[in-house]
Amino acid sequence: MNPIILLVLMAAFLVLLIYVFHPPFPSIGRLLAFLALLAIGAIMAYMFVIYIFDYDPDPLRLRIANGITDNKIVDLTQIVPGLPEDLELIQRLDTDNDPDDGELLEWAVLYRYDTVVSGEGAVSGPYGAAIYDVDRCRPPAIQSYELAPANYDYLAQTWATVGAENMIEYKDPLSSELDRPEVIVRGLSPGQVLTDLNIFRKVGIEPNCLEVQAWRQAHPGQAFPYGDWLRYDNIGSFRGNYEVRRDGQTVSVFDRGPFERSQIVIRKDYRPRNGSYLYPGTQTLLDPVEYRLTFGKGAPTDVPEVYYPEKAVLAFYELLGKDQASLDQAKTYLSPGAQDAYDIDTDTFGLSADSESVAQARSKLDRALVLEIRYVPDRDAERLHEDRQVTVIVVGANKDGGVDYAHPCTVTWRIIAEPNPQALPYGCEWRLDRYQSSCPGPGEHGELPAAESTIGWLGSFAN
């Protein structure tokens, strides 16, 4: 520090000290209260500028830190292209559970590339990510490892976060049976909805310093190829145009079809096998362990009063086979005639009664899954309360998670409109009245008119 600056500060300190303590002397309590007032005022001003004026303090904090240390700290915002002066994009994480690291954590860095700068100076573009780690050799070096998703895709578009946790218990034989944590990059859309999820794991065995030195002696002037020893493999890459959710090891992807009026989504559930969600040696996701149509945000509160008859059918099958309270609620979706004709506790409702079925015609049914819905929207017919037809393809699942995909059943329901002037928009409630199934069984009742047999496509699955 410049001695002149130090002398000026000392002089200013003495002047202020004499001014504060010249007679009459203030009490110690008042002095402490004044200092507290200054501190609280400074904090309030700081928060006011940040939250009211949306001021980003990170650039100033970085300049202060670099100034105090004479620009001798490692500032990744000056090293990584596309990394703005935003400290939220840099995390210190334990990404490898290496006992030799002690308290040393890795740097997980998110950055933008292929950026577009708007007229207001806002920067947008897809996100990439990398891990920076320090070796313990002479001289110590910082190594970088790219977190590259399947097909070198982007990780997020609007916003991204990164974390590390041991979400999959897996002792990797390529890492000397170490059970390393997974690095999880979450891509968020506007509204903080998770739409991209990429999972990585460190693979390989870190070379010791003797191996590094021996290689450098044999290859003078060349950088040691850490990438041949260590890497971060992508073990799962998920994207849903509606949402992605994770419950432990289970990742659920929700997609909406184009121009789908009923807000029905396709749900696919994935679980890892041998420590990965991908087929060995490929970038291809394993087949989903379960897939079905469902409501993105849950079934409507008052199902019979829904605008669309197909919603009533899906809501009925989502309750079928569950606890008694759910069955009692499903029964209210049936017309009075259907309630008399079908026993809600035992009827198959079109599901397979085959002896090889995992659900075995309701005796072992835990859930019914709707794989496809077919319906021809007709606003005029709906407004006139005409009978409608909705066709679904359904399978059963037992309590052990076994799904009867070998016995899909095509079930066509006649939906009738019961007048209710309070129901919007057409003054009626849609109720399930009669069904016909391609899987004959003890629950089949009646024939449906042939004139209603033309059914349009609403939604189906593609792996």
Q: Could you please report the per-residue DSSP string of 18-32? A: HHHHSSSPPPHHHHH
Q: Which of 253, 288, 323 is the last residue of a domain?
A: 288
> Which one of 117-121, 252-256, 400-404 scores highest in mean pLDDT?
252-256
- Residue 78 tokens, joined: 């000056």
Which own/partner pairs from 401-405 qualify as long-range (CB within 8 Å, at least 24 positions apart)?
401/289, 401/290, 402/358, 403/290, 403/358, 403/369, 404/352, 404/357, 404/358, 404/359
The predicted model gives 319-336 an average pLDDT of 92
Distance CA 224, CA 179 (A): 26
Residues 251 and 322 in one domain: no
- Are 259 and 350 contained in the same domain? no
From start to end of 42-141, where are the E strands? 90-93, 106-112, 116-117, 123-124, 127-134
Claim to verify: residue 273 and residue 344 sit in the same structural domain? no
Got the DSSP string for 316-383? Answer: HHHHTTS-HHHHHHHHTTB-HHHHHHS-TTT--TT----TT-SSTTTTS--EEEEEEEE----HHHHH
pLDDT band at 140 (very low <50, low <70, confident <90, very high): confident
450: confidence class by pLDDT, cuts 50, 70, 90? very low
Model confidence over 300-313: pLDDT tens digits? Answer: 888 888 889 999 99
Question: For 207, phi and psi rounded to 5 degrees?
Answer: -70, 145
H or E stretch covering 253: strand 250-256
Q: Is residue 391 part of a domain?
A: yes
pTM: 0.82
Judge whether 54 lies within some domain. no
Phi, then psi, of 419 in degrees rounded to 5: -60, 135
Give residue 443's pLDDT.
Answer: 43
258 and 361 share a domain? no
Do the domain assignments include residue 67? no
* Same domain (yes/no): 165, 224: yes
- Gap between the Cα atoms of 197 and 272, Å rounded: 14
Q: Are residues 334 and 277 in the same domain?
A: no
Inter-residue contact 109 to 216 (CB < 8 Å): no
Q: Give the pLDDT confidence of 123-136 residue by residue, as tens digits.
A: 889 999 999 998 87
pLDDT category of residue 185 using cuts at 50, 70 and 90: very high
Instruction: Quote the pLDDT of residue 437.
Output: 94
* Assigned domain for 334 exists: yes
382 and 256 in one domain?
no
Note whether 280 and 323 are same-domain residues: no
pLDDT of residue 414: 97
Whether the per-residue pLDDT at 321 is higher than 80: the answer is yes
Question: Per the domain annotation, does 51 fall within a domain?
Answer: no
Are 446 and 412 found together in one domain?
yes
pLDDT for the residue 107? 93
Q: Which of 314-323, 420-429, 442-451 has the highest mean pLDDT?
A: 314-323
The per-residue pLDDT for 2 is 64
Q: Which residue has the tokens 């030195």?
A: 213
- Ranking 40-49, 103-112, 376-385, 395-404 by mean pLDDT, the lowest is 40-49
Bin 305: left if φ > 0, else alpha if -120 < ψ < 50, else beta: alpha
Q: In what helix (H) or strand (E) does residue 184 lie, and over which residues does it extend?
A: strand 182-189
Residue 336 lies in a domain: yes
Domain that holds residue 176: 84-288
In the chain, the percentage of residues whose pLDDT exceeds 90 is: 49
Residue 300: count other Cβ atoms within 10 Å of its Cβ.
Answer: 16
Q: Does residue 444 carry a pLDDT above 50? A: no
Do 264 and 246 form a contact (C-beta atoms < 8 A)? no
**Total count of domains within the chain:** 2
pLDDT band at 436 (very low <50, low <70, confident <90, very high): very high
- Mean pLDDT computed over every residue of the chain: 86
3-state secondary structure of 65: helix
Q: Please say if the pLDDT value at position 453 is more than 50.
A: no
Give the per-residue pLDDT at 78: 84
Q: Amino acid identity of 339? A: Q
Which residues does residue 117 pair with via DSSP β-bridges, in sequence order? 123
Distances (CA, A) of 204 to 201, 226, 230: 10, 10, 5
pLDDT tier for residue 100 given thresholds of 50, 70 and 90: low
The gap from C-alpha 301 to its chain's centroid, in whole angstroms, comes to 25
- Residues of the chain with pLDDT > 70, as a percent, come to 93
Give the pLDDT confidence score for residue 400 in this predicted structure.
87
Q: CA 164, CA 172: separation in Å to the nearest integer?
A: 17
Asked if the model's pLDDT at residue 452 lies above 70, the reply is no
